[in-house]
């Protein structure tokens, strides 16, 4: 599957953005999708996850209550709605896909994912 991430940009603290991860070549519902981010000088970290054929979401503590991952099967696209953005959310955001369902302990592992999108920059600054 090929992934195309988009929707990043510059936003003020407290603002919102919606990132999109469009899948081409396979049905996104067949994959576990993860959103990761990488800030300058830091390691890539997992943010939000949605398992194959499930609707329960998993989020890292720092974004709980602010970020929501969702899937539109008709559009073959996964979204990351980000609200109340803060400067510490500034990073390049990547979507990634793993075949099938990942167990919880594997969700955060970069090596669990088979396909990656190209990344989209999110900058939160006043």
Q: In the structure, what pLDDT confidence band is assigned to residue 119 with cuts at 50, 70 and 90?
A: very high
Give me the count of residues in the chain: 126
Q: Kindly state the percentage of the chain with pLDDT values over 70.
A: 100
Give the containing element (helix H, strand E) for 96: strand 91-99
Residues with Cβ < 8 Å from 92, sequence gap 6 or more? 8, 37, 38, 39, 119, 120, 121, 122
Q: What is the pLDDT of residues 22-80, one digit of tens each?
A: 999 889 999 999 999 999 999 999 999 999 999 889 999 999 999 999 999 999 999 99
Q: What average pLDDT does this structure show over 78-95?
A: 98
Average pLDDT across the chain, whole number: 95
Q: Judge whether 11 and 59 are in contact, CB under 8 Å.
A: no
Give dist(CA 34, CA 48) in Å, integer: 6
Tokens of 53: 């054929």
Residues with Cβ < 8 Å from 37, sequence gap 6 or more? 44, 45, 47, 89, 91, 92, 93, 94, 122
How confident is the model at residue 38, as a pLDDT? 98
């Amino acid at each position: 599957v090929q992934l195309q991430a988009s929707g990043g940009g510059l936003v003020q603290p407290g603002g919102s953005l919606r990132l999109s991860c469009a899948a081409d070549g396979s049905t996104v519902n067949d994959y576990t999708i993860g959103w990761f981010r990488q800030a300058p000088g830091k390691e890539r970290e997992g943010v939000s996850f949605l398992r194959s054929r499930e609707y329960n979401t998993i989020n890292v503590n720092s974004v709980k209550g602010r970020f929501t991952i969702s899937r539109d099967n008709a559009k073959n696209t996964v979204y990351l709605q980000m609200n109340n953005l803060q400067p510490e959310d500034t990073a390049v955001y990547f979507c990634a896909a793993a075949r099938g369902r990942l167990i919880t302990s594997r969700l955060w592992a970069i090596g669990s994912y088979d396909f990656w999108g190209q990344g989209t920059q999110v900058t939160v600054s006043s």
